[in-house]
Amino acid sequence: MATGHHPFLVGGSPHYIQAVVDNLEIPAIAPQPDLRAELEARSLEDLLKQLEELDPHSAAVIDRNNRRRVMRALEVCLISGRPFSEQRKVAAPLYTSLLLGIHWPREVLYRRIDLRVDERMRQGMVEEVQRLLDEGVSHERLEALGLEYRFISRWLRGDFASEAEMVERLKYAIHDFTRRQLTWFRRDKRIVWIEGNDVEGAEKLIQEFLSLKTRPTTPLSGLPSVSRSER
């Protein structure tokens, strides 16, 4: 970068990673209030079914519990007449990037997810969501903020019999979301995968990347673990 520092981008959402390292161009479709009102009146199951028909690729990778994102994908499809996924184009890259993907055995990955959820609960995640509700944030808004906010919000309004049931269901939902993210990332053969505990291997790859005198013209593309890019 211009300041001489080398940024690390740690993700996260595949689209956020791709937007940066591949200079993703987002469809220029303005919000459609009337259409959104119509979509809002329909069930999420119905919206997903229509998205699967119009844009199977987006339906396969989108957060299927995030109503706002599903509606936006449908909005673009319906207004433009083209699949949302086809309109996210890659422009000329802004950065030369190294993307490192962290691989964990599935059972280890799930255990790490579960431990993280338990830690978030101990840190007061439920109290945080309740405070947001008390301050006027709606349940509908919390639904769009991510799985943890979504499931806690639903428990606070009585959708689960107990906090323990809510936490268990939340863990399973994150497992499912993680599987779909990994499916997305493994399509990109440019990703460099390392074992989760191979810190020395990761450092070596980064040092080799930094020492290159000739940079590739096409960025290595993304993974939701550790990514490294520079101007």
Residue 62's CATH number: 1.10.20.140
Whether residue 151 is contained in a domain is answered as yes
Asked if pLDDT for residue 221 goes beyond 80, the answer is no
Q: Are residues 121 and 170 in the same domain?
A: yes
Match 């799930």 to its residue by tokens. 110
Query: What is residue 222's predicted lDDT score, i.e. its pLDDT?
Result: 38
Asked if pLDDT for residue 18 goes beyond 50, the answer is yes
Asked if pLDDT for residue 214 goes beyond 50, the answer is no
Instruction: Single out the residue in 147, 163, 185 at which a domain terminates.
Output: 185
The 8-class DSSP code of residue 87 comes to G
Q: Are residues 159 and 115 in the same domain?
A: yes
Q: Are residues 72 and 43 in the same domain?
A: yes
| 120 or 19, higher pLDDT | 120
> What CATH number is associated with residue 154?
1.10.287.890
Q: Are residues 13 and 34 in the same domain?
A: no
Contact, 65 vs 172, CB < 8 A? no
> What integer is the mean pLDDT of 67-96?
82
Whether residue 191 is contained in a domain is answered as no
Domain total of the chain: 3
Contact, 191 vs 185, CB < 8 A? yes
Whether residue 150 is contained in a domain is answered as yes
Residues of the chain with pLDDT > 70, as a percent, come to 88
Q: Are residues 64 and 132 in the same domain?
A: no
Each residue's pLDDT tens digit, 138-187: 988 888 788 999 999 999 999 999 999 999 999 999 999 888 888 888 88
Q: CA–CA separation, 230 vs 175, rounded Å?
A: 32
Whether residue 92 is contained in a domain is answered as no
Asked if pLDDT for residue 118 goes beyond 70, the answer is yes
Q: Are residues 109 and 176 in the same domain?
A: yes
Whether residue 190 is contained in a domain is answered as no
Q: What is the CA radius of gyration of the chain?
A: 20
Whether residue 109 is contained in a domain is answered as yes
| 9 or 72, higher pLDDT | 72
Reading the block at residue 95, the tokens are 């950065």
Q: CA–CA separation, 229 vs 106, rounded Å?
A: 28
Lowest mean pLDDT among 45-54, 78-87, 196-205: 78-87
Query: What is residue 1's predicted lDDT score, i.e. its pLDDT?
Result: 55
Q: CA–CA separation, 209 vs 193, rounded Å?
A: 15
Query: What is residue 64's predicted lDDT score, i.e. its pLDDT?
Result: 80
Q: Are residues 45 and 74 in the same domain?
A: yes
Asked if pLDDT for residue 228 goes beyond 90, the answer is no
Residues of the chain with pLDDT > 90, as a percent, come to 42
Query: What is residue 133's predicted lDDT score, i.e. its pLDDT?
Result: 95
Mean pLDDT for the chain overall: 83
Query: What is residue 171's predicted lDDT score, i.e. its pLDDT?
Result: 97
Domain extent, residue 205, equals 1-25+97-102+196-231
Asked if pLDDT for residue 27 goes beyond 60, the answer is yes
Query: What is residue 48's predicted lDDT score, i.e. its pLDDT?
Result: 93
Q: CA–CA separation, 180 vs 195, rounded Å?
A: 19
Query: What is residue 169's predicted lDDT score, i.e. its pLDDT?
Result: 96
> What integer is the mean pLDDT of 73-83?
89
Q: Are residues 13 and 61 in the same domain?
A: no
Q: Are residues 177 and 124 in the same domain?
A: yes
Whether residue 142 is contained in a domain is answered as yes
- Angle made by CA atoms 222, 146, 226, in degrees to the nearest 5: 25
Q: Are residues 41 and 1 in the same domain?
A: no
Q: Are residues 143 and 111 in the same domain?
A: yes
Q: CA–CA separation, 194 vs 205, rounded Å?
A: 10
Q: Are residues 32 and 18 in the same domain?
A: no
Each residue's pLDDT tens digit, 181-207: 888 888 888 899 999 889 999 999 988
Coil, strand or helix at 134:
helix
